[in-house]
Structure 1
């Protein structure tokens, strides 16, 4: 079963656990748990499994695009796009820069999307949801319709609630409690 294999890979390769909160997260909080999912999303087997499972999760929403804030979302978006193409329902990947480009067209969202397209925002790990919500804001400025946020792991630290406040749903393959 692919989900069990992914859960096992995450537990073996990605999860660091300390007695005290020593890991500084992107939210600025300290935690006893650190999850580096790039150890999986940048690995051929991990990328395939991630792409397959995330594609199965977003497929029913029929998005035109899949992506999120660089760098965590990038390999997920590419994997989903590849798997979707192989399944006969191609979903275009996109990248959201942390800041709008300082030259050229000054774009913050890069990809082959057009105004009105429906997009799934993906994320490797959700803590507070702030990175995903930054991506949502950029997508909405581009006229894209965000259909939800889709993560590999929800740390269960308020992200769900913050995302719901913005009128969106969070879907995740795993909760941190399922990996511990």
Structure 2
């Protein structure tokens, strides 16, 4: 599946939004990719996950771990495509951790799965948890890398779409964007802070 086909999936799902958005990272952007809308159709989610799994060919993966909330569905579908289990980290008091009886076997080869990577912060935080629990991070995979390849993760990083979409610090928002009331449609709508989307 090439990038044009992936973008067509987003457009068909009504998941390409334009306006003034506050990203999970706290940055502002005139474009938002609402992956939840793409993933709400199981057939579409499955197609995207198979395409993402193909990009991991040659990398042995024992487990997929995702940061909650946005990565859970991507991680689950990617794990299904790879034939391995899927678990997720979630924030407790602002810090990612494993809960729900999840465990990472010592030495397990782990792929981190995300919906969107902007700064890579959530992915790196998730990787810290994996390593602290004895896992070996062998790759990171996402539907959309909106960093334009600039997010430094320290492991092979694959994406179905790599976009270089404009982002701005709140104090640097251009006047035409500042004229639009900002909204935060992500998984943490009441909070702008560290994160990857």
Give the TM-score of the pair, scaled to structure 1. Answer: 0.78
TM superposition shift of 1:46: 1.7
Match of 1:162 in 2: 152
| SS in structure 1 of the partner of residue 69 of structure 2 | coil
Is 1:94 the counterpart of 2:94 in the alignment?
no
CA distance in 2, matches of 1:2, 1:161: 21
Give the TM-score of the pair, scaled to structure 2. Answer: 0.72
8 Å contact from structure 2 (residues 75, 114) kept in 1: no
Q: Which structure features the higher share of helix residues?
A: 1
Which of 54, 63, 70 matches 1:56? 54
When the two structures are aligned, how many residues end up with a matched partner? 161
Is 1:78 the counterpart of 2:76 in the alignment?
yes
CA RMSD of aligned residues (A): 2.5
User: Structure 2: which 5+ residue stretches go unaligned?
Assistant: 166-197
| SS in structure 2 of the partner of residue 168 of structure 1 | coil
8 Å contact from structure 2 (residues 104, 134) kept in 1: no
8 Å contact from structure 2 (residues 6, 160) kept in 1: no
TM superposition shift of 1:111: 3.9
Higher relative contact order (CA 8 A, sep 6+): 2
| SS in structure 1 of the partner of residue 43 of structure 2 | helix
8 Å contact from structure 2 (residues 142, 159) kept in 1: yes
User: Structure 1: which 5+ residue stretches go unaligned?
Assistant: 85-89, 101-105
**Range with bigger deviation, 124-133 or 1-10:** 1-10
